[in-house]
Amino acid sequence: MNADSDEVTDRSIDATEPLLRLRGMSAGYGGVAVVHDLDLHVGAGEVVALLGANGAGKTTTLLTVSGLLQRLAGELTVLGVEPPMGGRFAREKVALALVRKGLAYVPEDRALFFGLSGREHLRLAARRGDGEAIELALEPFPALAAIIDRRAGLLSGGEQQMLAIARALATRPRLLLIDEMTLGLAPIIVEQLLPRVAATARSTGVGMLLVEQHVKAVLTVADRAYVMVQGRIATSGQASEMNADSQELAARYLGAIPDRHQAGPSVNLSESSSPEGTTPAERREDGGDASG
Ligand code: ATP
């Protein structure tokens, strides 16, 4: 292990190895761990859900996997890359190495450029001359393809989320991390989006780690799931089994921490019932077609 070095260890992984593996990993901010002793893996074509109440450590885990936060202890291997830990940690170097290996990360705020069209987003993401990647990225989202020349700021929340995911797919990733894909989306959009994204993983072999508050909806499409409580993995297992017992799962692991963003329960147990148009990313740049 390459502790206290800024060297990024990079090797090829074979087909039998997981794309992502955490072993006893801790990570956090300013040298203080907020996630502890995490064991987790994602294989090719696998859809893995990362669940937990607000503040449980899900985003911290994704940020660490994507090289944007420091691993403080334990092992982390992402597509054969082992990000270093220690004082001379070079975030940009690590993040770039991971992107080159095929990691794509869709952050919670979607990080779109509201003045650019959908097509411009995809062109910027795809390798130069790789028009086929743009076509493939749009395949799961025919509704988006129809309005791909519209500026991102004029798209509805669901359309923006489709664009954020399509942009990630246009990079031809091997491992895709998506944070709160359905946050603030209408039930109908949630019902459409999660199965399409999961189907894309299975048809392309992309491994996916999905942070999601819609517990039942994501357990319906995922292969496996991990549940975090206060920075630790409290339980994990087959998604179908966890889904069959989702009331018990919620009562034991998901409702204990008060929601720090809003009043009410911190996870959503219905198939899909969040209101549309509630996130900052959905604010329109100016008035336009908001149909979703
Ligand atoms: P949510 O569902 O609300 O997004 P989460 O499960 O993604 O929550 P994290 O955002 O990873 O949780 O937060 C885990 C812990 O780390 C929380 O206690 C949070 O307050 C803390 N934390 C998050 N960001 C920072 C930061 N920049 N500096 C210090 N502590 C932070």
DSSP, residue by residue, 174-217? SEEEEESTTTT--HHHHHHHHHHHHHHHHHH--EEEEE-SBHHH
What pLDDT was estimated at residue 268?
Answer: 63
Please, what is the average pLDDT of the chain?
83
**Cα torsion for 69, 163, 279, 242, to the nearest 10°?**
-70
* Total domain count, the chain: 2
Report yes or no on 235 lying in a domain.
yes
* Residue 127 CB contacts under 8 Å (≥ 6 apart), including other chains: 133, 171, 172
What pLDDT was estimated at residue 193?
Answer: 85
| Residue 250 DSSP one-character state | I
pLDDT at 281 > cutoff 70: no
What is the per-residue pLDDT across 28-64, written as a single tens digit (0 to 9) for each? 998 899 999 999 999 999 999 999 999 999 999 999 9
What is the per-residue pLDDT across 181-200, written as a single tens digit (0 to 9) for each? 887 777 777 888 899 899 99
User: Phi and psi at residue 140, in whole multiples of 5°?
Assistant: -70, -10
Do 98 and 193 belong together in one domain?
Answer: yes
pLDDT higher at 17 or 238: 238
Ligand 1 pocket test, pick from 34, 61, 64 with the greatest ligand atom count within 8 Å of Cβ, gives 34
Secondary structure percentages of the chain, helix, strand, coil, to 5: 35, 25, 40
Do 147 and 188 belong together in one domain?
Answer: no
Do 95 and 116 belong together in one domain?
Answer: no
Do 191 and 91 belong together in one domain?
Answer: yes
Q: Is 230 in the pocket of ligand 1 (CB under 6 A)?
A: no
Q: Is 55 in the pocket of ligand 1 (CB under 6 A)?
A: yes
Do 124 and 230 belong together in one domain?
Answer: no
Do 168 and 182 belong together in one domain?
Answer: no
Do 30 and 73 belong together in one domain?
Answer: yes
Do 61 and 184 belong together in one domain?
Answer: yes
What pLDDT band is residue 282 in, cutting at 50, 70 and 90? very low
Which residue's CA lies nearest to atom 9 of ligand 1? 57
Domain assignment of residue 168, given as a range: 112-172
What is the per-residue pLDDT across 125-184, written as a single tens digit (0 to 9) for each? 998 878 899 999 999 888 899 999 999 999 998 899 899 999 999 999 999 999 988 877
Q: Note the pTM of the prediction, 2 decimals.
A: 0.84
Q: Give the helix/strand (H/E) hosting 158.
A: helix 157-170
Domain boundary among the residues 155, 172, 189 is at: 172
* Residue 92 CB contacts under 8 Å (≥ 6 apart), including other chains: none
Query: What is the distance, to the nearest Å, from the Cα of residue 56 to the centroid of all Cα atoms in its chain?
Result: 15
Report yes or no on 58 lying in a domain.
yes
